[in-house]
Amino acid sequence: MRVLLIEDDRDLSEALAAGLLQRGLALDIAHDAAEADAYLKGLDYAAILLDLGLPDEDGLSLLQRLRARGDTRPVLVLTARGTVDARIKGLHEGADDYLVKPFDIDELHARLLAILRRQGGYLGRSLSCGRLHFAVETRTAYVATTMLALSARETELLELLLRRSGNVVPKRIVEDHLFGLSGDLGSNAVEVYVHRLRKRLEDADTGARIETVRGVGYMIVPTP
């Protein structure tokens, strides 16, 4: 599960990224609103963690723009603005929850999971294709009771494909999802991970295969 953190404090953002990674969440970091817009246009996130004190735009203005264009991804506001009026305003503008700094990372994690459960989003269910099942909360793949040993990026790729099972995922989206917008990757990096995952699915007799749609992207489908 991938989350976008929009936070200009680099020390705090790095600490949160490390803490949430230990709890099974992948995190991209945007340090201002412009960078956040670039991430949000290219990547699919389970949720957004939003600081209000951004250097180029007030976080509430960014939240208003997201909601105005129909973006329904859950947003958890992280801010030093702790008055009752500030919390009410944030919730009225479209925030799903509001956490005042300083906070405990375990509380942040718990609130984030609670939001996703309420939204019916990325938790509390599994994804499947053929005999392959992917437990969303634990981010593990199984065939019957046998767990597949996958790397972090193979897991990211599998979840991305399973969420769009039967539909083509453009190569650009795969690239951004695996490596981020600033990722340093070779020209065939995506193909390498697709090849590795394809082989793992075949070797495990999952009943699922990854097809390459030339010039477009990739899709996962049940084997005939």
pLDDT digits (tens, 9 = 90+) for 121-167: 554 467 899 999 998 777 889 998 899 999 988 998 998 899 888 88
120: left (phi over 0), alpha (psi -120 to 50) or beta: left
The CA–CA distances, whole Å, from 184 to 26, 85, 97, 167, 189 equal 17, 44, 34, 27, 10
pLDDT digits (tens, 9 = 90+) for 57-104: 999 999 999 999 888 889 999 988 878 888 888 888 889 898 888 888
What CATH fold (topology level) applies to the domain 126-222?
A: Arc Repressor Mutant, subunit A (1.10.10)
Domain 2-119 CATH (choose: 3.40.1160.10, 3.40.50.2300, 3.40.50.300, 3.40.718.10): 3.40.50.2300
Q: What is the rounded distance in angstroms from the CA atom of residue 219 to the CA atom of residue 168? A: 5
